[in-house]
C-alpha cells in the first residue's frame, strides 16, 4: 500500500473522507459509477453512469444507446481503447475532444441529470457533507481513461456543494435525529408478557435471545405520535442494536418499523453495535451502551429523571409554540 492510499484509509477511518468503490459500504457503493442509478440524459435512457461513460467511446449512435442502457459490469465490459489515439469521444453523433472544456461540460451535465432524477444517488451524495471524496482505484491520467479520479470526485463535490448553496437561503438542513428502539419506541416488557413460563425459564437472563420476541412488542406510550411530530422538525433515522445470538431479532425490527412507522423510517434504519460511528446531531436512547455514550452529538437519555417520557422529550426538542 502506497503512502497516499494509507492516508486515504486513515481519513476514511476518521470519518473525514469517503473512498468511492462499488464493493464498499453505503454510501460509497451507491456513488460508484457501476451502481444502477438510472436516469435520462438529453433524451437517452442511461442504466448507470458507467453505461453513459463507456458509450462515449463509440461513434455509432445505435451502439451508443445500447451501451448507455447497460448497468454495472455489463457496461464496464464494453470498454475500448481505440479513442485514446486521437483523444476523440462521441455523443449523439458529435465528436468531442476528450481534453476539451466541452467534454468537461458534458460530464458535468450528465452527473447533474443523475443527481436531480435519481433519489438514491442524491441522498447518498448529500450524506457525505463535510467529507473529502476519493476514488483511490481510479486512473489519474486523462489520456488513458474516460474519467480520472480528480474529474470524478471534483464533479461530485461541486454538485454537492452547489446544492447546499442553492438551498441555504430557503431551507436550512434539518438536524439529524436518531431513535433507539428497545425501551424507547418499543415496549420490551410487552413482548415478554406474551411468552409462556417454559420459554421464560429457558431463556432466563437472556430474554433478548427469544426467537420472534421483537416482532411481538407493542409501541411505548406516546412513541408513535411523538415520532410523527419530531419528523416535521428533524431528519429522522432508526439507530438500534440487535442481539448477536438472535438472528430473527434483526428482521423482526425491520418488520416492526414497517408495521408501525414505515411512513417515517422507510429505508432509514441502521442496526449496529457501534452507534458512535454514525454521524448525527441527536440520539434518543435509554442506555449508554453500544457506543451511545460516545456518540458525537447530544445523547438524550430516555427514561431518565430529565426525560422520563415522550412528553418531556417533545417539550425539549420542539419549541413550545410548535408542540401542538
Q: How many CB atoms lie within 10 A of CB 191?
A: 21
The residue from 19, 180, 285, 286 that is catalytic is 180
Active site residue 281: no
Cα 308 to chain center, whole Å?
Answer: 32
DSSP SS3 for 236: strand
Can you read off the three cell numbers belonging to residue 37?
A: 442509478
- Bridging pattern class, strands 186-187 and 218-219: antiparallel
3 state DSSP class of 52: helix
Task: Report residue 68 as a C-alpha cell.
Answer: 448507455
58 Cβ contact partners less than 8 Å away, ≥ 6 residues apart: 64, 67, 80, 90
The single residue listed with the C-alpha cell 442553492 is 166
Question: Phi first, then psi: what are they for 42, rounded to 5°?
Answer: 50, 45
Q: What is the DSSP letter of 74?
A: H
180 is catalytic: yes
- C-alpha cell belonging to residue 295: 456518540
- List the beta strands (DSSP E) in 33-115: 39-41, 44-46, 88-91, 94-97
Whether residue 53 contacts residue 28, with contact meaning beta carbons closer than 8 Å, is answered with: no
Choose, from 19, 182, 208, 285, the residue flagged as catalytic. Answer: 182
Active-site amino acid positions: 180, 182
Amino acid at each position: 500500500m502506497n503512502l497516499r492510499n494509507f492516508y486515504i484509509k486513515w481519513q476514511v477511518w476518521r470519518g473525514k473522507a469517503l473512498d468511492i468503490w462499488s464493493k464498499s459500504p453505503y454510501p460509497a457503493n451507491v456513488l460508484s459509477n457501476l451502481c444502477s442509478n438510472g436516469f435520462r440524459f438529453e433524451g437517452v435512457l442511461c442504466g448507470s453512469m458507467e453505461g453513459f461513460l463507456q458509450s462515449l467511446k463509440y461513434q455509432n449512435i445505435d451502439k451508443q444507446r445500447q451501451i448507455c442502457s447497460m448497468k454495472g459490469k455489463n457496461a464496464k465490459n464494453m470498454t475500448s481503447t481505440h479513442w485514446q489515439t486521437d483523444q476523440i469521444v462521441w455523443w449523439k453523433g458529435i465528436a468531442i475532444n476528450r481534453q476539451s472544456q466541452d467534454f468537461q461540460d458534458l460530464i458535468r451535465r450528465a452527473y447533474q441529470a443523475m443527481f436531480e432524477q435519481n433519489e438514491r444517488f442524491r441522498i447518498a451524495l448529500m450524506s457525505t457533507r463535510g467529507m473529502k471524496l476519493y476514488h483511490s482505484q481510479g486512473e489519474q491520467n486523462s489520456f488513458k481513461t474516460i474519467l480520472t479520479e480528480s474529474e470524478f470526485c471534483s464533479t461530485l463535490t461541486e454538485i454537492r456543494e452547489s446544492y447546499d448553496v442553492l438551498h441555504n437561503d430557503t431551507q436550512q438542513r434539518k438536524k439529524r435525529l436518531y431513535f433507539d428502539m428497545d425501551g424507547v419506541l418499543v415496549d420490551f416488557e410487552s413482548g415478554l408478557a406474551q411468552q409462556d413460563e417454559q420459554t421464560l425459564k429457558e431463556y432466563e437472563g437472556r430474554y433478548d435471545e427469544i426467537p420472534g420476541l421483537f416482532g411481538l412488542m407493542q409501541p411505548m406510550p406516546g412513541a408513535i405520535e411523538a415520532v410523527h411530530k419530531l419528523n416535521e422538525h428533524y431528519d429522522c433515522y432508526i439507530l438500534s442494536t440487535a442481539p448477536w445470538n438472535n438472528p430473527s431479532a434483526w428482521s423482526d425490527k425491520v418488520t416492526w418499523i414497517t408495521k408501525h412507522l414505515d411512513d417515517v423510517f422507510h429505508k432509514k434504519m441502521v442496526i449496529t453495535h457501534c452507534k458512535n460511528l454514525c454521524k448525527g446531531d441527536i440520539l434518543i436512547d435509554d442506555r449508554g451502551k453500544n457506543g451511545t455514550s460516545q456518540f458525537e452529538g447530544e445523547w438524550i437519555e430516555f427514561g431518565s429523571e430529565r426525560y422520563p417520557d415522550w412528553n418531556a422529550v417533545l417539550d425539549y426538542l420542539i419549541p413550545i409554540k410548535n408542540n401542538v
